Amino acid sequence: MDMLYAVVAGAAVILALSYLRGRWFGFTAQAPSDYSGAPGEVLDLRKHLNGPIQCDGVIYGPTGRVTLRFTAEFDATWDGNRGRMTEDFIYDSGATQRREWHLTLGNDGRVVATAPDVVGEGLGQLGGPALQLRYRIRLPEDSGGHVLDTVDWMYLAPNGTIVNRSQFRKFGIKVAELVATMRRKEAA
């Protein structure tokens, strides 16, 4: 009986530590307020996500190995606090994908984002040089059609490049992660 108690107690401690690590120390524990007042330029979507943008990135699967690599061309336009951004992806598999985001900025730094494959609205918050955006995305049918909970973080680098890190979860378990850079394309 003492051995069973020790095993159960040990498992409970491991689960509690795992929960606390994710809740207080992991990727999802960040908050936009963590970046408010950070030195350097503040992320302004109307400035930094405007015009033609080159995006390059990788997607990691659940084992942590790269499963897809991609390049994309974005084009973003703004009318006051309302923006539209089209994204044209080319994956290393040869597959292509197009997404169109509609963005609304609040005067308090809140962001509302919609796209055809986003379930409902994505909700975000700017904080200094960073943006956190949370939404639910529906994968294409050829990828299973699953709906994943997504947390995007975009960080403005000193040279104006935006570094994007996203995690995708199903039932709270991380199933994929994306890391990409976005930078303004020079006029041709």
Q: What is the pLDDT of residue 31?
A: 83
Q: What pLDDT is stored for residue 37 in this prediction?
A: 84
Q: What is the mean pLDDT of each run of 10 residues along the chain (188 residues)?
A: 58 56 66 85 95 97 95 97 97 95 96 96 96 94 89 95 96 95 82
The Cα–Cα gap between 112 and 106 comes to: 8
- Residue type for position 159: N
Query: By the 8 A CB rule, do 41 and 156 touch?
Result: yes
Given this model, what pLDDT does residue 91 score?
96
Residue 10: predicted pLDDT: 57
61-66 long-range contacts, CB within 8 A, separation 24+: 61/175, 61/176, 62/173, 62/174, 62/175, 62/176
Please provide the distance, in angstroms rounded to a whole number, between the alpha carbons at the two ends of the chain: 75
- Which pLDDT belongs to residue 77? 97
Report whether 126 contacts 133 (CB < 8 A). Answer: no
How far is residue 16's CA from residue 39's CA, in Å, rounded to a whole number? Answer: 35
User: Using CA atoms, how far apart are residues 133 and 170, in angstroms rounded to an integer?
Assistant: 17
